[in-house]
């Protein structure tokens, strides 16, 4: 199984730049991150430090978020946020540059919350334009832009797979972009009441990426009630060939106990 460790939600006891090496030490060869900088256009020194931490650890960067704003404060992306649209556009070349240098191909563009005083129609029109711009910028390095339904953010409008797929279809229709794909986060979909098994049956071959956490609690696999193993296996059967991202909350000392148990029983 090809797992990748989301180092923005796991190993948080460590400084950010020490986490890739910790993931490697835990037996993983791949990592991903939410946007690791405070601004859309960090300094060259900042990006170099981040890239070196990944290269020095000997892991592959498999995914990177575009700048999503202040996530702890509740921001969930700049894509459809009119007042910050230019920040998102400025971010595209930076993201593509990091991707090109680290051979990363998948980039999550969080859509953004509904904004008071702006119509949904206006936000969705800007969102489609900005996703098309991101798709064009990322296509230059052979990459894919990911769009994700999210739970726990009351003003985030993409709750189920169908919501994201509708936006993706609009982007394709308006711009011709074919490299915007669904990020299937099984935890978010399940929490939002989606029929995850049906989403897999209908769309697994077209998933751009899969992320997992158990529910309730967004903990490690096996801590809750979701049939994550079955869902992953079925996605594979139906043609999904990408990484499975570990995007859950668990203390460092027990973060990967389930994977060790899984390896022990499979030999």
Closest to 161 measured CA to CA, from 146, 149, 153: 149
* Distance between CA atoms of residues 9 and 213, nearest Å: 11
Question: What dihedral angle (degrees, nearest 10) is formed by the CA atoms of 56, 59, 63, 69?
Answer: -40
Q: Strands (DSSP E) along 104-243, which ranges?
A: 106-108, 144-147, 180-185, 209-212
Which one from 148, 174, 225, 250 is the annotated catalytic residue? 148
**Catalytic pick from 51, 129, 247, 250?**
247
Of 48, 53, 164, whose CA–CA distance to 109 is shortest?
164
* 98-122 CB burial, b ≥16 within 10 A, e <16: bbeebebbbbbbbbbbbbeeeeeee
Strands 3-6 and 30-33: parallel
136 is catalytic: no
CB 34 within 8 A of CB 68: yes
* Cis peptide bond upstream of 68, omega within 30: no
Coil, strand or helix at 23: helix
247 noted as active-site residue? yes
Quick one: which of 191, 266, 261, 189 has its CA closest to 221? 261
Supply the residues annotated as catalytic. Answer: 148, 247
């Amino acid at each position: 199984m090809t797992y990748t460790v989301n180092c923005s939600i796991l190993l948080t006891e460590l400084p950010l730049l020490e986490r890739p090496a910790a993931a490697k030490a835990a037996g993983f060869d791949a990592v991903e991150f939410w946007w690791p900088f405070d601004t859309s256009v960090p300094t060259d020194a900042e990006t170099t430090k981040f890239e070196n931490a990944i290269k020095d650890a000997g892991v592959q960067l498999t995914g990177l978020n575009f700048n999503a704003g202040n996530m702890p404060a509740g921001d969930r992306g700049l894509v459809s946020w009119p007042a910050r649209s230019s920040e998102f556009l400025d971010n595209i070349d930076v993201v593509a540059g990091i991707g090109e240098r680290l051979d990363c191909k998948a980039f999550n563009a969080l859509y953004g919350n509904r904004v008071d005083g702006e119509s949904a129609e206006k936000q969705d029109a800007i969102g489609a334009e900005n996703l098309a711009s991101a798709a064009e910028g990322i296509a230059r390095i052979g990459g894919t832009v990911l769009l994700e339904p999210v739970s726990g953010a009351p003003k985030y409008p993409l709750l189920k797979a169908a919501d994201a797929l509708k936006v993706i279809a609009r982007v394709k229709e308006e711009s011709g972009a074919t490299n915007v794909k669904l990020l299937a986060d099984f935890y978010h979909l399940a929490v939002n009441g989606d029929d995850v098994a049906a989403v897999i049956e209908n769309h697994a071959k077209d998933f751009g990426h899969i992320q997992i956490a158990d529910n309730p609690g967004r903990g490690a696999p096996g801590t809750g009630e979701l049939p994550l193993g079955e869902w992953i296996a079925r996605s594979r059967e139906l043609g999904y060939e990408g990484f499975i991202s570990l995007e859950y909350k668990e203390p460092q000392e027990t973060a990967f106990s389930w994977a060790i148990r899984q390896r022990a029983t499979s030999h």
